[in-house]
Copies of this chain bind each other. A is one copy, B any other.
Amino acid sequence: MFKNNLNTTKGFDLFEDQYIAEQSITTGSNYMFGNGYMGYRGTHPDDTKEDYVATIVTDTYDKADGKWRELCNAPNGLYTSIRANGQKVSPSQVDIQNYKRSIELDHAILVNEFANDVIAVEVERFASMDQLHGLVMSYKVSALEDGQIEIVTGIDGDVWSINGDHYSKTEFFAEKGCLYGHARTKEFDIELNVSERMSFVGGADYEETLIKSEDRIMRHLSFQMKKGMIVEVHKYVTIYSSNDVDQPIKACDELGSQLLAQGYDQVKERHCNAWNRLWQHYDIKIDGSLRDQTLTRFNLYHNIIHTPTHALLPVGARGLSCQAYQGAAFWDQEIFNMPMYLYTNPEVAKNILMYRYQTIDGARTKAKKLGYRGAFYAWISGKSGEELCPDFFFKDIITGRKIRNHFNDWQIHVSSDIAYTIWRYYEVTDDKEFLLGYGAEMMLDIALFLMTRSFYNVDKRRYEFIRLLGPDEYHENVDNNVFTNYQARYTLQKTMMVCEELLQTNPDKLEALLNKLEITKDNLETFKDIIEKIYIKEANEDKVIEQFDHYFDLEDIMPHDLAERLIDKAEYWGWPNGIAVHTQVLKQADLIQLFVMHDDFDDATLKANYDYYEPRTEHGSSLSPAMHAIIASKIGYKDQAYEYFTKSCTVDLYNANKPISGGTFIGGIHTASCGAVWQMMIFGFAGFSVYDNVLHFRPTVPEAWDGYHCHLHHHHNYVDVHITKTSMEVTSKVDNNETLQIEVGGQRYNLDPGKSIMIHLNQVEMV
C-alpha cells in the first residue's frame, strides 16, 4: 500500500507480504511487540541470534564488556521451527508461500503467516498487557495435504548481545513438563529466569522428546496430520528477574500455571481488553488518510510499549527494541515521550517523574564530581541516575581516534528540562501533593546546581552560562545558549514559586528541605538575582534570536553544500572538528524547540526564526523534524508542516537512520520521535496548549485529511476532541468535576461536564 513494503488493512495494523532479509534489523524493531516490562522483536518464530531476535527485559542493567552497561536479552522462550514431511518450512525461505508478517497495533499482537504445499502456519505472539511477565504464543498449523509434522519449540539461550555476553552462567532444564532457562549476569549477578509451558490443541496424537544442549532446551513434537486438519501449539512463557521479585523461579511457575490454566483465548482476551483501555487515552483517529492513520498509530503504539509503567525505570532512547543506548533515558524522556502521557494519562507521567526523584542521588553524585552542588541529571540515565555517558562517546572514523564529546558535562539543560516538566505536570494535573512532596526537592536541587554552574559577569552585570551544549549538538562549548538560559530561568522562577507556596502552607517542610539540601537564605536570594539578571539573548531587528553568543559570526553555509566537505559519509558532523562546528548548520534548532515548549513568543518571532533556522538545520537528530512540523503548523506553513509530519512519523518505518554508525549499533526504535508524533498532532495541528488554566486550541487540518479525533485531560477532566476543516467539537466526559475553559480563535468558552461544544469557523454552537 505505501512505501517500503508496508501495508495496512484498517489503519490499526501494519503488514508486509514479502520478506526482505537485509532489512531485518529495522523490520525486527518495527514489528516488535511489548508491554513496558519487556520488548520482543518482531522476528520470525524460527529466527535466531543472527536475525536479531531479542527479548529485552527492563531492570536487567549489566555491564559485560567493562564499558557499556545495558539491558539483557533474555533467552528466547518462543523459539519454534517446523518441518513437514522432513522439509523445513520457514517464513524466511525465499520460496515460501502466503508470506505475511503483521503487527496489530491495536493489541500489540505479532502475526506470522507462511505455507508450503503441505501446511499453512499462522502464529500469534504477544506480551500480555494484563500480566506483564507473560509472553504468549499460538502456533497454528493447517494441513493442506496429509503430512508428517515435526515442531521444535522451547527456549533458545544463544542470544544476540551488542556489547558482550552478559551471562556468567546459564542452565537449561525441564521439570514436570515445563522448560526452564536460568541465567546469571556477569556484573551484578542478576538472576533471570524464563519458564515455558505448552499445550497442544487439536486432534493429533503427538510424540514429544526433549533436546537439550548447553545453551538451549527444546521440545521435539512429532505428529501426523490429515489434509484439512488443524492443530495449535500454545506456549506460555514467563519471565522474572531477581530485580523483580525475591524468588523469580517461583514467580515464573505461579504465573505460568495461571496462564496455562486460563488458556490461550482468555489470556488473549484479557490482554486485548487492557490494550483497549489504553487506547481510550492515547488513540488519535484520523479521517481521510489510511496511510497517515497507520503512521500515527505506529508511533503512539511504540511510545506505549516502550514506556515502563510497572516500576520507576527510564524510558529508553531505543526503548526495549534492542540494547542500544543502554536502555537509558535522555532528556527525550521528559520532553518527547512524556507529553502524550501528561495530557492523556497523567499517572504514567507521574511515574516518569518519580523515576527522576528516585534517581536524584545519581544526579547529586554527578554534580559533586564535576565541582558543583545540587542535582545535575545525567545525559544518559539508567537505574541509579548516575551518568552513564562515557567521556569518549564517538570515534573519529577517519583517524580512528576517540573523541571527547561533552554530552555528559556541558549539556546542562537536561536538569532544567526535568524541572520544567515537573512544573508542567503540576499545571496540568494540579497534583500539589507530588509538587510539594517530590517536585520541590528536585526543583530546589536543580536550581542549586544551576546557581553553582552560573557565573556573574561583573562588567555586564548579568549572569551567564558558559561552555554549553544545547539541543543542537553540533555546537559544543558555546555560551549563553538561549535554550539553556531560558530553561534555567524558568526553573529558577518556578522553584521560587514552589518555595513561596511552601512558605505559606508548610514552612517547616521548606525549612527541612533547605536544610537537607544545604541551601541557605543567601542562596535563595541569589536564585532571585539570577532570575532578574540572567542573560537571555534578545531578537535582532529581524526578530531572529541568535542561538548562542557569536553564532551569527559563524560561516553561513547550507547543509547541502556543507555535506560536500565530508571526507567519509559516516563521519560525525560535530565536535571537535566535524564539518558543522564552525558553521551555522544545526543538528536541530534550539529556538524551534524552545518555541514548542513555551508560549511566550509571538507568531512573527516564530516565523522569523523558522525562516532563518530551518534552512540551516540538517536534522541530524530524529527529534528535529517533529518540532519543525509543530512550529510550521503554528505559523501557517501547512505544506512544510505536513512534510515534516510525514518525515517524523517514518523515522523508523522508512529506515531514515542508519542502524550502525562508527561500528556502534544505534538501531532500534527512536522512542522520542514516537512521542513527538503525538505532539505534532496535538501541539502542532490542533494547536493545543494550556496556560492560565485555559485550554487553548489553534486547530488546523492537513489538506490530505478530513479531520481527526483525540483525547485530552486537564486537572483530571477528560475531553474528546474532534477537529475537521470547518469545525471543532469538544466533549467533556460526564464524570468530570470542573467547568473547563477553552479558548479558540481569541474566544473563550466554558464547557461543563457531560457537555459538548461545537465551534464552527469563527462561530460557536452549543450542542
Contacts and interface: CB of A to CB of B under 8 A. Distances in A.
Contacts of A466: 455, 466-467
A444 B582 CA distance: 34
A577 B458 contact: no
A354 interface: no
A459 interface: yes
A6 interface: no
Given A371-B549, A399-B398, A567-B399, A581 B456 contact: no
A489 to B, nearest CB: 15
Given A456-B458, A467-B466, A576-B576, A404 B451 contact: no
A526 interface: yes
A391 B581 CA distance: 13
Contacts of A565: 401
Contact of A404 (B398, B567, B581): B581
A396 to B, nearest CB: 7
Most B Cβ at <10 Å: residue of A401, A459, A575, A579: A459
A464 interface: yes
A458 to B, nearest CB: 5
A280 interface: no
A657 interface: no
Contacts of A373: 459
Contact of A459 (B398, B400, B403, B452): B452
Interface string A399-413: 111011000000000
Interface string A452-473: 1011111110001011000000
A18 interface: no
A616 B467 CA distance: 28
A464 B458 CA distance: 12
Given A371-B549, A467-B466, A549-B371, A582 B404 contact: yes
A7 interface: no
Interface in A412-464: 451-452, 454-460, 464
Contacts of A577: 396, 399, 401, 403-404, 576-577
A522 to B, nearest CB: 9
A577 B575 CA distance: 10
A456 B526 CA distance: 13
A142 interface: no
A464 B459 contact: no
Contacts of A576: 575-577
Contacts of A163: none
Interface in A519-561: 523, 526, 549
A477 interface: yes
Contacts of A581: 404
Contact of A477 (B391, B403, B458, B477): B477
Nearest to A392: B582
A67 to B, nearest CB: 16
Interface residues of A, number: 34
Contact of A455 (B398, B401, B455, B526): B455
Nearest to A406: B477
Nearest to A568: B399
A452 B462 CA distance: 12
Contacts of A549: 371
A52 B505 CA distance: 84
Nearest to A565: B401
A400 B579 CA distance: 12
Contacts of A458: 451, 454-456, 526
Interface string A577-611: 10101100000000000000000000000000000
B467 A467 contact: yes
Contacts of A391: 582
Nearest to A463: B458
A565 B457 CA distance: 41
B464 A455 contact: yes
A404 B576 CA distance: 10
Interface string A209-234: 00000000000000000000000000
A581 B401 CA distance: 12
Interface in A378-408: 391, 396, 398-401, 403-404
Nearest to A400: B567
A451 B455 contact: no
Nearest to A449: B459
Contacts of A526: 458-459
Contacts of A457: 452, 455-456
A474 to B, nearest CB: 14
A521 B88 CA distance: 91
Contacts of A467: 466-467, 477
A581 B582 CA distance: 20
A401 B577 CA distance: 8
Contacts of A403: 577
Interface string A680-701: 0000000000000000000000
A565 B399 CA distance: 11
A517 to B, nearest CB: 13
Contacts of A464: 455
Interface string A109-149: 00000000000000000000000000000000000000000
Most B Cβ at <10 Å: residue of A371, A526, A565: A371
A400 B403 CA distance: 18
A219 B574 CA distance: 62
Nearest to A409: B550
14 contacts: A371-B549, A399-B567, A401-B565, A401-B567, A403-B577, A452-B457, A452-B459, A454-B458, A455-B457, A455-B466, A456-B457, A467-B477, A477-B477, A575-B576
The 4 closest A-B pairs by CB, nearest first: A455-B455, A576-B576, A452-B459, A456-B456
Interface of A: 371, 373, 391, 396, 398-401, 403-404, 451-452, 454-460, 464, 466-467, 477, 523, 526, 549, 565, 567, 575-577, 579, 581-582
Given A455-B456, A576-B577, A577-B577, 8 more contacts: A398-B398, A399-B577, A401-B577, A451-B458, A452-B457, A452-B460, A455-B457, A455-B458
